[in-house]
Amino acid sequence: MIPEIGHYALVLALLMAVVQGTLPFVGASRGNVAWMEVARPAAYGQFLMIGLAFVALTWAFVVSDFSLQVVIQNSHSLKPMLYKVSGVWGNHEGSLVLWMVMLSGFGAAVAAFGRNIPPTLKARVLGVQGLVGVGFLLFMLLTSNPFVRVFPAPADGNDLNPLLQDPGLAFHPPFLYLGYVGFSVAFSFAAGALIEGRVDPAWGRWLRPWVLIAWASLTMGIAMGSWWAYYELGWGGWWFWDPVENASLMPWLAGTALLHSAIVVEKRDALKTWTILLAVLTFALSLMGTFLVRSGVLTSVHAFAVDPARGTAILILLLLAVGGSLLLYAMRAHTLKVGGVFAPVSREGALVLNNLLLSVSCAVVLIGTLMPLVLDAFGHKISVGAPYFNFITPFLAIPLILVMGVGPFLPWKRADLGAVLPRLGVAALLTVVAILWALWAHGVKPVMALVGAGLAAWAFCGAFAEIAERIKLFRIPLGDSLSRAASLPRGAWGTALAHAGLGIAVAGMVGTSFWLSEEIRVMKVGDQTPLAGYTFTLDKVEELRGPNYVTETGTFTIRDGDDLVATIDAEQRWYPVAKMKTTEAAIHTTFVSDLYAVLGDRTEDGTGWVVRLYHHPLVPWIWFGSIVMVLGGLLSLSDRRLRVGVPQKRAAPVRGPVAQAAE
Amino acid sequence: MKLTRRIAALALAGLLSAPALAVLPNEKLADPAMEARAREISKELRCLVCQNQSIDDSNAELARDLRVLVRERLVAGDSDEQVLAYVHDRYGDFVLLRPPVTGYTAALWFGPALVLLLAGTGTAVYMRNRRRDAEAAPATSRLTPEEEARLQALLAAQDGTGSGEGKRA
């Protein structure tokens, strides 16, 4: 009965989405307030209905209702509860329901919190949001219904892929989707503004919180995915330039560009048509990410043919959304008034360069990801992997980070580099110190490691140099500086944190990519292996039993000289239902490095085990830096001028160049 | 058709099985310098039955055979380039994770530079036109008198509430 309620709720949600996607447009163009107002209850209703369907599906997983096809295929009665719940979105059908929960949730949030948005624009934004919902709900009900029953119901399910039974991966998709779907709001604002034919700084200000939420979530989602790969796949890699990863990186790059160009719209009333285009493209890339991952086209072009209905449906959805909005863009973009002017060397100029480099990076990832598919269609089978991307990306990443350090120092409109660069003296000095340290600690080769260390230090120090400059640190009494720091807008702190976080993450990437130590050997119980100044001892290997797996657990003690550093357990698990082996790496983190041990197969003579031991310098900083970036985003979001429900007087749409005075 | 399905099945198996341990101790060469070269070469070669994994990362049987082959060629005295060429000759472009520079991969190798060039030129031209248009237009405020009045009112209100945060430049 409960699955049927869920199914029915999806149908009702579709009907509400149809209403939300039609009446408000008509209302907005005719000035009919009642019809425009329909958007709000429709958005709430759609969210409520999809939420109901989501709860129904979760219920089916929690009680292991094996009369539902998705539950059979992705669950098992013995699975721990956390993974029964995360199994809801660990599959195609359920992940679509989650996607729709978020899409309708964002729609409801715009309806609830967008009180300052002019009624016609709001009606149109919600209308576009409704149309996207119609597309996805149709897709779900026609090709990917999660509530399909099976008769007779089997006694137990096929279990979820054990690699996915992991806390890191349980929450990776929700964050990723929150990011993807968050950009739908930017898309709706862009389409709404095109229909409206008006973009002003207020539009930029309404747009920014949604872009910030989406960007912070996507950053978090990507970081969690890479963290999972690091500890679960068993050799300490954290990014593989796999097409599935690239599919999430592209919207992140475009979204980061959007985040920055929206600032220019808000502060200077410039880059308006570009920002609109970027909002459309970012959501298009989010849709494409879903398409690439969900259609199976990435595994092999031939896998696409296994279920052509789904793949084709997503492709049509993608073409309608992107084609429709680009057509709208081509028809209306020229009607938008051109705003403020600026010199090439200025804050705007730096942000334009940021957008240029991020967009080209995005294009490079797109080319590298799609080219094998394109060439396959013409009969050439090629592979594009990490060596290709690692060769190309530094050309874009290095100038991007260099500009990132300088950009926040530049005044709007027109800047004098000669006056600005000396203020970065301390940051430059610390960068040189970092490079010299890397040289001393790890030698001159590879040179890229030194470059990377310098960039990390530059990004980090540049971010705080900007804050130091603004609070006049050491130039006025410390107490005055502190009170200035307290009254700085949170947006300024957010920028500094996010930029510093990137620096921290880059340091982690450099450390583990270039300075890793590794030992692969057979160890017997009692054997010792020296690695990077530590000694690993294999103490014992036991066979143990988990809830739905059996495991061979190897216990290692790590010593630094005679001092005990840690005792860690590395597991090799066997999941009998899924008939799969997984490794659980043993990791001890010292914050400046990770000690990492993997237990492999027993040797043929039965006396020893193959083990891999690693010393990963700085690697935790990749994820620590990502979290700092996310915190920076959230701090910006809490900035007074963006806060939802801010007193009307402050947030009243201030048009024209006045907006810059608030900063 | 049957073959492609088989490849797809193999690829799926490669994707789903945990890549627990790739390089095994008994594969390693005695000479650490040569072993290090073998590892670097392995990172350039794709495990043919896996989804986007190098033979250095994969524990598939075929990846293991390729790793052994690479080491045999190194022991036989090949240079790094010769080893890669040897494997490329036998397995085709698909085995190289860094595609060769040929006619059909031109977009891959020259595309990024071309995109950067086009985008850079486009931006430069746009900025120049914008400045020219702006200089041609009257330099005075483009606000209507009502907007100007509202602006002054807002600024006055803001100063009144003591918002002293700098109007930075």
List chain B residues with CB under 8 Å of A235.
19, 21-22, 57
Fold of B2-100: Helicase, Ruva Protein; domain 3 (1.10.8)
Averaged pLDDT, A267-283 = 91
Average pLDDT, chain A: 88
pLDDT of residue A66: 92
- 3-state helix, strand, coil split of chain B in percent (to 5) is 65, 0, 35
Mutate to test the interface with B, among A357, A382, A551, A574 (most CBs of B within 10 A): A382
**Number of helical H runs and strand E runs in chain A:** 23, 9
H or E, element range at A45: helix A39-62
Q: Which residue of A has its CA nearest to B23?
A: A520
List chain B residues with CB under 8 Å of A656.
143, 147, 151
Averaged pLDDT, B32-40 = 90
Reference A608, options A519, A538, A550, A545; nearest CA is: A538
Instruction: Kindly determine whether residue A299 and residue B12, on different chains, have CB atoms separated by under 8 Å.
Output: yes
The helix/strand/coil state of A588 is: strand
List chain B residues with CB under 8 Å of A336.
none
pLDDT 10s digits, B104-146:
999 999 999 999 999 999 999 988 887 777 677 654 556 677 7
pLDDT higher than threshold 60 for residue B19: no
Two tokens, residue A527? 């054997």
pLDDT of residue A295: 67
Torsion of CA A346, A347, A349, A355, to 10 degrees: 170
pLDDT higher than threshold 70 for residue A314: yes
Report the relative pairing of strands A528-531 and A517-524 from DSSP bridges.
unpaired
Identify the residue whose tokens are 């620590």.
A624
The helix/strand/coil state of A644 is: coil
pLDDT higher than threshold 80 for residue B166: no
First to last CA, chain B: 67
CA distance A467 to A461: 10
Better-scored residue on pLDDT, A28 or B22: A28
CA distance A257 to A355: 5
pLDDT of residue B158: 60
pLDDT of residue B41: 94
Better-scored residue on pLDDT, A251 or A491: A251
First to last CA, chain A: 56
List chain A residues with CB under 8 Å of B24.
520, 600, 610
> What angle do the packed helices A347-377 and A386-406 form, to 10 degrees?
170
- B5, B53, B97 ranked by CB distance to A388: nearest: B97
Tell whether A378 lies on the interface with B, counting CB pairs under 8 A: yes
pLDDT of residue B109: 94
pLDDT 10s digits, A447-488:
999 999 999 999 999 999 989 988 888 888 888 888 888 888
pLDDT of residue A236: 77
Q: What is the 3-class SS of A246-315, one letter each residue?
A: HHHHHHHHHHHHHHHHHHHHHHHCCCHHHHHHHHHHHHHHHHHHHHHHHCCCCCCHHHHCCCHHHHHHHH
Report the relative pairing of strands A534-545 and A550-560 from DSSP bridges.
antiparallel
pLDDT higher than threshold 70 for residue B11: no
Averaged pLDDT, A604-608 = 85
Tell whether A522 lies on the interface with B, counting CB pairs under 8 A: yes
Reference A535, options A517, A561, A511; nearest CA is: A561
Better-scored residue on pLDDT, B26 or A280: A280
CA distance A532 to A341: 56
Q: How confident is the model at residue A44 (pLDDT cuts 50, 70, 90)?
A: very high
pLDDT 10s digits, A108-125:
999 998 888 899 999 999
pLDDT 10s digits, A421-451:
888 989 999 999 999 999 999 888 789 999 9
Tell whether A305 lies on the interface with B, counting CB pairs under 8 A: no
pLDDT higher than threshold 60 for residue B88: yes
Averaged pLDDT, A33-51 = 95
Torsion of CA A542, A547, A549, A552, to 10 degrees: -10
CA distance A656 to B28: 68
Averaged pLDDT, A188-213 = 91
Smallest Cα distance from A661 to chain B, Å: 5
Judged on CB neighbours under 10 Å (0-12, 13-18, 19+), A47 is: buried
CA distance A515 to A618: 9
CA distance A626 to A621: 8
Identify the residue whose tokens are 């060469």.
B29
Identify the residue whose tokens are 């970092």.
A434
Read off φ and ψ for residue A583, nearest 5 degrees.
-110, 140
CA distance A162 to A578: 7
Q: Which residue of A has its CA nearest to B55?
A: A385
pLDDT higher than threshold 80 for residue A164: no
> Is the CB of residue A93 less than 8 Å from the CB of residue A307?
no
pLDDT of residue A457: 96
Q: What is the 3-class SS of A543-581, one letter each residue?
A: EEECCCCEEEEEEEEEEECCEEEEEEEEEEEEECCCCEE
- A300, A411, A412 ranked by CB distance to B8: nearest: A300
CA distance B136 to B127: 14
Cβ partners under 8 Å of residue A236, min gap 6: A230, A512, A516, A585, A594, A596, A614, A616, A619
pLDDT of residue A296: 65
CA distance A498 to B6: 47
Q: Parse chain B into domains and list their residue ranges.
A: 2-100, 104-160
Other beta carbons less than 10 A from residue B100's beta carbon:
14
Size of interface A-B (CB pairs under 8 A): 173
Q: Which residue of B has its CA nearest to A652?
A: B154
pLDDT higher than threshold 60 for residue A137: yes
Averaged pLDDT, A640-652 = 50
**DSSP 8-state secondary structure symbol assigned to residue B45:** B
What ipTM was reported for this prediction? 0.84
pLDDT higher than threshold 90 for residue A496: yes
pLDDT of residue A356: 95
- B15, B107, B163 ranked by CB distance to A299: nearest: B15
**DSSP 8-state secondary structure symbol assigned to residue A154:** P
pLDDT of residue B167: 38
Q: How confident is the model at residue A75 (pLDDT cuts 50, 70, 90)?
A: confident
Identify the residue whose tokens are 């095994």.
B24
- The pTM assigned to this predicted structure is 0.89
pLDDT higher than threshold 60 for residue A373: yes
Q: Which residue of A has its CA nearest to B143?
A: A656
> Is the CB of residue A231 less than 8 Å from the CB of residue A168?
yes
pLDDT of residue A136: 92
Residues above pLDDT 90, as percent of chain A: 57
Upstream peptide bond of A152 is cis (omega within 30 degrees of 0): yes
